[in-house]
Amino acid sequence: MSNKDSGRSYHLQCTGEASATAQAHSSPESITLFGSCFCPFVQRVWAALEHLGIDYKYYEVDPYKKPAELLDLSPKGLVPALRLDYYDPPRALNESTVIVDFLEELATSNSRRSSHTTESLFPPISDPYARALIRLQADSVNRSLVPAFYQYLQAQDEAKKVEGAKGFVDAIEGLVTLFKRAEREGFANYGLWHERGSLSYADVMAAPWLFRATNVLKHYRGFVLPEGEQFRAYMDRVLSHPAFKRTCSTEQLYLDSYERYAFNRPNTSQVANAINAGTALP
Amino acid sequence: MSEPHAHIYPHATGRAATTVEQHQEPQDLVFYAGWFCPFVQRAWIALEERNIPYQYKEVNPYKKEKHFIDINPKGLVPAIEYKGKALYESLILLEFFEDAFPAHAPHLLPADPLARAHARLWADHVAKQVVPGFMRTVMAQGAAAQRAALEELCGALRALADHVAGPYFLGEQFGLVDAALAPWVGRDYILAENRGYSRGAVGAAWEAYAEKLETRESVVKTQSDKEHYTAIYARYLRDEAQSEAAKATRAGRPF
C-alpha cells in the first residue's frame, strides 16, 4: 500500500492484451470507439463490442485535453463515445449504458457483426422478466457499486476510508443479492454468477470496477475482496472472460492512472468532482 | 421523530381518483403505487398510454405493509407484480412494459436502434440532471442556494428542450422521454410559487413542450388535485422531508 502521492499521471496508450486488441482494431470501420486506456466506462463498451463480435475501430483519445474530434461527438467531452460513419453526416452516441444497449440491439438484428456469433448480453425478448432482472442488476451497479468505488478510493482520512470500504462491500452484496434473486427465479443461463451462464449486460456494467478493485483498491487501500466461494468463483469467471480480458491493460497502467484519485487531487475528472460535490456522476 | 406518513392524504383525488376507480378489478398485472409519487406517475402514464390492463393498489411507502415488502424488499414505489413476479424501478418498469406487452400499441420506444439510443440518452439526462435538479431546488434553503440550484435546473431543461423534435420529444409519438419527464412538469408550479421559476424564463421551446406534456391525456388522468401535492411539498420546501429521494438529495447520493 502506498502512502505518498508520487505525482504519476494517467496513461495514454493501452498495454498488455488491450494493446493487442487495439492494434487488431486500428483500421477504419463504420463504427469507431473513442476510448481511453484506463477508463472503466470505456471498458464496458469495449468488452461489449468484443463479446458481440461487432466490427469497430478503437481510437485512443486523451479526454482531459478536450480534443475537438471528441467534443464533436460528446459535448461533455466524455469517453466513451461512438461514431457511426454509416450515417451521413456521421452520428454520435454517448453514455456507456446507452451505447451497450445500442450495440446489443445492433447485434440481435444481426447487423455489423464480424462473425457468425449469436452472442447476446440479454435474455431474449420472449423472456421479459429475465431481461428486467438483468437491468435491475445493472441499475444496482450504476446506483451503488460505481459511486462506492470512487467514494472509497477518493477518501483521504481514515474514518472515511473505513466507511468507504464498507460502502463498497455493501454495494457488492447488493449486486450479489440480485444475482441470487435471478438464480431463485430459475434464470441460470444469464450472467456469469452461474457456472454455466453467459456474459450478461450486468456483468459488463460491473466488471471494470470489480477488476479495479483487485489492483487499484488493493494497492491504494489494502482492499481484500469479500470471502465466499460463489463470489470468488464469479470474480474468476468475470476477470478471465475472453471478451473482458482482451480489453485489460497491465496492472501498472491502472496503478499509475488511479494515483490521482487515490490522493484526491483537485479536478482529477468530472467523475471525481461529482463525488466530491455529492452530485450525480456525469 | 415526527411521522411523515400520518400527514399524507391517503388516496388519489381529481382525475387520478377516477382512474384508480377504473382499475380495481384483479388483473395479471398489479400496480403498487403512491398517488403522489412522481416516479409512480411515470409508470402509471406508461400503463395508461399503452392500454395495459392493471389493478391499482395504493401503498403508503412510509408505512410498509407485509405483502408489499415481501415482494419488494426495498419497499419503494412504483412496483408491480406480474403473474406473481415482482419488479420495481420506474425506468426499468417502462422497459419491461415494452418487452412484455409487444402487442399493445403504442410503444414508448421507436423500432430503430439509434432512435432508441437517442431516447434512452435523454431519459438518462432527465434522471441525472432534471430530477435531482428539481429536488435540489425545492430543498435548497436561503436565497443564494435556491437561485444557484434553479439556474442549474434551468440549464438542464434548456438543454433538453433544444432536442425536442416536437410536439413530443421524438416527434409525433409520445414516448419514453416524455413519460420520464411529465410528472415533474406537473409539479413545476411548486417551483413557480416558491423558488422564482417560470417556464418562460427557461425558454419558448421549453414552455411549448411543457404545455404539451401537461395536457397529454395519460398525464392528466394520473394527476391528483394540486392542493394535495402542495401539502406534501411543504415538507420538502423546508428541507424536512424523509422520503428516500429527499434523504439521498441531502446526502448527495444518487437515487
CA distance A91 to B252: 34
Distance of CA A40 to the CA centre of its chain: 4
CA distance B244 to A182: 25
CA distance B233 to A253: 49
Determine which of B33-47, B57-71, B203-217 has the lowest per-residue pLDDT on average.
B57-71
Residue of A105, A136, A278 with shortest CB distance to B92: A136
Report CB contact under 8 Å: B254, A280: yes
Give me chain B's average pLDDT, please: 93
Question: B8, B16, B30, B37: which one is catalytic?
Answer: B37
| pLDDT tens string B96-119 | 999 999 999 999 999 999 999 999
Interface of B with A (CB under 8 A): 82, 85, 87-89, 92-93, 95-96, 99-100, 102, 113-114, 116-117, 120-121, 124, 128-129, 132, 251-255
CA distance B29 to B31: 6
CA distance A268 to A272: 6
φ, ψ of residue A70 in degrees (nearest 5): -80, -45
Determine which of A79-83, A135-139, A181-185, B21-25 has the lowest per-residue pLDDT on average.
A181-185
- A165/chain B closest Cα distance in angstroms: 16
Report CB contact under 8 Å: A278, B253: yes
pLDDT at A7: 95
Q: Considering only CB atoms, which chain B residues are within 8 Å of A94?
A: 121
| pLDDT tens string B233-249 | 998 999 888 887 888 88
pLDDT at A1: 53
Report CB contact under 8 Å: A278, B100: no
- Residue A212's nearest CA partner among A160, A267, A159, A271 is A271
Active site residue B37: yes
Residue B105, exposed/middle/buried by CB under 10 A (0-12, 13-18, 19+)? exposed
| Mutation site for A-interface testing, chosen from B28, B70, B92 by largest number of A Cβ within 10 Å | B92
- A155/chain B closest Cα distance in angstroms: 15
pLDDT at B254: 67
Report CB contact under 8 Å: A97, B124: yes
β partners of residue B65:
none
CA distance B153 to B155: 5
Q: What's the whole-number mean pLDDT along residues B55-75?
A: 84
Residue of B89, B99, B129 with shortest CB distance to A131: B99
Cell matching residue A203: 456483468
